[in-house]
Copies of this chain bind each other. A is one copy, B any other.
Amino acid sequence: MQKPSIPKGTRDFSQLEMARRNYIFSTIREVFSLYGFAQIETPAMELMSTLMGKYGEEGDKLLFRIQNSGEKANEAPEKGLRYDLTVPFARYVVQHRDTIQFPFKRYQIQPVWRADRPQKGRYREFYQCDVDVVGTNSLLAEVELIQIVEEVYRRLGIRVCLHLNNRKVLAGIAEVIGAPDKMMDITVAIDKLDKIGVDAVNAELRERGLSAEAIEALQPILNLKGSNEDKLRDLRTILAESEIGMKGVEELEEIFTQLSNVHTAQADRSSQGRDKNCRLPIELDLCLARGLNYYTGAIFEVKALDVQMGSITGGGRYDNLTGIFGMPDVSGVGISFGADRIYDVLTELDLYPADLQSTTQVLFACFGDDELKFAMQCATALRKQGLRVEVYPETVKMKRQMAYADAKHIPYVAIIGSNELEERKVMLKQMLSGEQQLMTVDELIQQLKA
């Protein structure tokens, strides 16, 4: 009989992989909760009418469709698997608009499915981790999301840089180079600047119908240099004639001002001045465009500094996401943490806490059935104290019991033979050093709690 397997592009997650993923998710959740974001969940299946036409032609083709056995094979399935968390969230907001408190601060950590060709690092089932505020135009929402990025990566120990841009600035650029209707074309093309280089981007812009003059006019903008302040100053000159462009510049300035306001406060309160050093570096990056066409204001992407990995977090402001479901004029801003990539970064940089390997603190290993009964009593007492305990359930050879503890990285084994049983004690072996010590259950509890 052939070994069973799973569909291509999907994964099983072992105990260690789950411990690592749970570490990432719980770190992120804890930070979200400091900012008052609350979790929601939506069904894995959405109606096809909810999903279709939201992800472009390409996206429509990547939807997994679901068939009941009741449905005829040649009927079009009416349900599909969630492709991302954004569209279900927009659907949720509109459907539950009467019971939601606005501004609505929610996060959502759930798998999504895409019928993409599987390849290294790209899966057909993967988790997304989205956090959004909808129902306010306030740029303080952007500021809090940036603070969240800073705190999540500080806690995970990953050094990152946040790239910041604004769609209104991009629209302004299109305006001032004389191609106002080509904003999306310019956006999509320069989004690739990092990947394909300036010449290929220019070629693509020509293909997309930009005039030579427009492309020429764009070059100094692509090459803006210096500090964020320098770039903003230059932009104010370049975009002076564009109302929307100037609005974008003002939004960027406001975000920087508000960030400096909270950072100053932190520095004030930190006697060691330590906070200054772990402050998130932010780069105003005019080449950052993000392909998704619902963004209308700030856009962000986060990249790890110490490993080549592309964007590990990204998002932006959208002014009309819920419009597709008939609820216009609800502005929101959100970011998405890429759990799979964060997982890979932590693995590559070896940044997981050491104690994720085993959750069990002590294994009881016994020579006989009476010893096993005593072990069950001890284990019960230890668990009452909140200690994580296993009892090897059979009296097999001690070597095999030790191998079990070893393979599971359990740090202590409490051995019980006839002598220990008689004294109502255990021989505690520290697996790393091999040291052994005879002790009572109460002493064992004290040692493990210390």
A: which residues have CB within 8 A of B?
1-7, 10-15, 18-19, 22, 33-36, 38-47, 49-50, 60-70, 73-74, 76-79, 81, 91-92, 94-96, 99, 101, 103, 105-106, 111, 113, 115, 124-125, 133, 136-138, 140-141, 143-144, 147, 151, 258, 261-262, 264-266, 269, 325-326, 359-360, 363, 372-373, 376-378, 380-381, 383-384, 386-394, 404, 407-408
Contacts and interface: CB of A to CB of B under 8 A. Distances in A.
Contact of A376 (B13, B60, B140, B360): B140
B10 A45 contact: yes
Contacts of A6: 42-43, 45-47, 50, 91, 95
B140 A372 contact: yes
Contact of A46 (B7, B64, B111, B264): B7
13 contacts: A6-B47, A12-B96, A14-B40, A18-B39, A36-B388, A67-B77, A101-B407, A101-B408, A138-B394, A140-B376, A265-B376, A266-B381, A266-B384
A360 B35 CA distance: 8
Contact of A4 (B12, B41, B43, B91): B91
Contact of A34 (B363, B387, B394, B404): B387
Contacts of A377: 261-262, 264-265
Question: By CB atoms of chain B within 10 A, which of A46, A49, A69, A408 has the most?
Answer: A69
Given A33-B388, A372-B140, A66 B64 contact: yes
A255 to B, nearest CB: 12
A251 to B, nearest CB: 14
B74 A65 contact: no
Contact of A325 (B4, B42, B63): B4
A39 B12 contact: no
B125 A43 contact: yes
Contacts of A151: 383
Given A65-B69, A125-B43, A376-B143, A38 B15 contact: yes
Question: By CB atoms of chain B within 10 A, which of A22, A383, A387 has the most?
Answer: A383
Nearest to A34: B383
Contacts of A5: 47, 95
Contacts of A19: 38-39
Nearest to A386: B34
B69 A67 contact: no
The 3 closest A-B pairs by CB, nearest first: A1-B326, A265-B377, A10-B43
Contacts of A70: 115
Given A7-B43, A44-B125, A68-B115, 15 more contacts: A1-B325, A4-B49, A4-B91, A6-B46, A6-B47, A7-B78, A10-B43, A14-B96, A18-B40, A34-B389, A45-B113, A66-B66, A67-B67, A69-B115, A265-B381
Contacts of A61: 69
Nearest to A1: B326
Nearest to A270: B384
A361 to B, nearest CB: 9
A119 B220 CA distance: 64
B4 A34 contact: no
Contact of A43 (B11, B103, B269): B11
B12 A42 contact: yes
A331 to B, nearest CB: 11
Given A36-B389, A359-B38, A66 B65 contact: yes
A240 to B, nearest CB: 26
A380 B383 CA distance: 38
A307 B377 CA distance: 33
Contacts of A45: 6-7, 10, 64, 113, 124-125
Given A5-B47, A95-B3, A376-B261, A39 B15 contact: yes
Given A36-B359, A65-B67, A383-B35, A391 B261 contact: no
